[in-house]
Homo-oligomer: A and B are copies of this chain.
Amino acid sequence: MTAEIFVVGIGPGREECLTPQARAAIENADCLAGYPLYLDLLPDALKAGKRLVSSGMRHEEERCSLALDAALSGEKTALVCSGDPGIYALAGLTIELMEARGLLDRLNLTVVPGVPALCAAAALLGAPLMHDFACISLSDLLTPIETIRKRLRAAFEADFVCVLYNPRSKGRPLHLAEAIENARMHRAPNTPVGLVRKAFRPGQSVSVHALGQFNPELADMLSIVIIGNSSSRRAGRYMLTPRGYAVSRGTA
């Protein structure tokens, strides 16, 4: 029988956002691998009696390797990611390591999609993503800062709504400030900027700011920042990017 590994997206974190497919993959696993914070997000009942394999930040490769080792040893293994495993998470690295170790035909890989952080944040803000959007990570650990700058420029110039992952950390406190400065060159000062921290987790905070006044220091690594396009606006307490239906043209 071929060994199996599941790379599982648990969504933003709250149990009510965990799909039955993800839950089943975790329940059926002998071994759960993941970043400590993500394993902590799982209900204890789902972890009981399972071997937990963890490793800290920046040890993604070790985490994936340990999960592959567990699967090869015959343990049913679920590698747990928050949000969706295919967006800045471990689905890709798992495939790269399977390839590097000659396991592509020896292991059955199932990627279990989850509710990504960008959708969790958007739902709490209202409807900021109703039109074309670009999703950009501000982390330059694995991407040259010049590439990030180029993509931000292109996204602002083409009027994409911009979703920023990893907006700010101690190691790079200024990337978000620079991105916001860049946005101010292409968007009106009253363009809404949505900031969601710990979406669907204890301590959740949601706020909408005007681009002209937005303070980048409000964001951290647990935040998602969404910068509206030229038609984004506030509607009551919501952040709204009209899709372009008649009603919005009528009220524009």
Contact = CB atoms under 8 A, between A and B. Distances in A.
A250 B100 contact: yes
Nearest to A163: B135
A20 B10 CA distance: 12
Interface stretch (A32-40, A118-126, A174-182, A214-222): A118-126
A65 to B, nearest CB: 9
Contact of A244 (B132, B135, B136, B143): B143
A115 B10 CA distance: 11
A86 interface: yes
Contacts of A95: 126-127, 235-236, 238, 240
A100 B236 CA distance: 11
A84 interface: yes
Nearest to A153: B158
Contact of A245 (B60, B135, B150): B60
A118 to B, nearest CB: 9
A122 to B, nearest CB: 4
A209 B151 CA distance: 25
Contact of A113 (B17, B21, B92): B17
Please classify the interface of chain A as helix (H, G, I), strand (E, B), loop, or mixed, using the class held by over half of its residues: mixed
Nearest to A134: B134
Given A100-B251, A151-B160, A93 B18 contact: no
A251 B96 contact: yes
B244 A84 contact: no
Nearest to A12: B113
Interface residues of A, number: 84
A95 to B, nearest CB: 5
A247 interface: yes
A120 B114 CA distance: 8
Instruction: For the complex of A and B, list the 8 residue pairs with the smallest distance between their C-beta atoms, beginning with the closest.
Output: A92-B130, A154-B158, A142-B244, A92-B127, A104-B236, A16-B21, A91-B127, A113-B123
Given A9-B123, A132-B143, 8 more contacts: A15-B20, A84-B115, A92-B130, A93-B243, A96-B235, A116-B116, A132-B135, A147-B159
7 contacts: A11-B19, A18-B20, A86-B129, A87-B130, A95-B238, A100-B250, A104-B235
Interface of A: 9, 11-12, 14-21, 24, 60-61, 84-89, 91-100, 104-105, 109, 111-116, 119-120, 122-124, 126-137, 142-143, 147-148, 150-151, 153-155, 157-160, 235-238, 240-248, 250-251
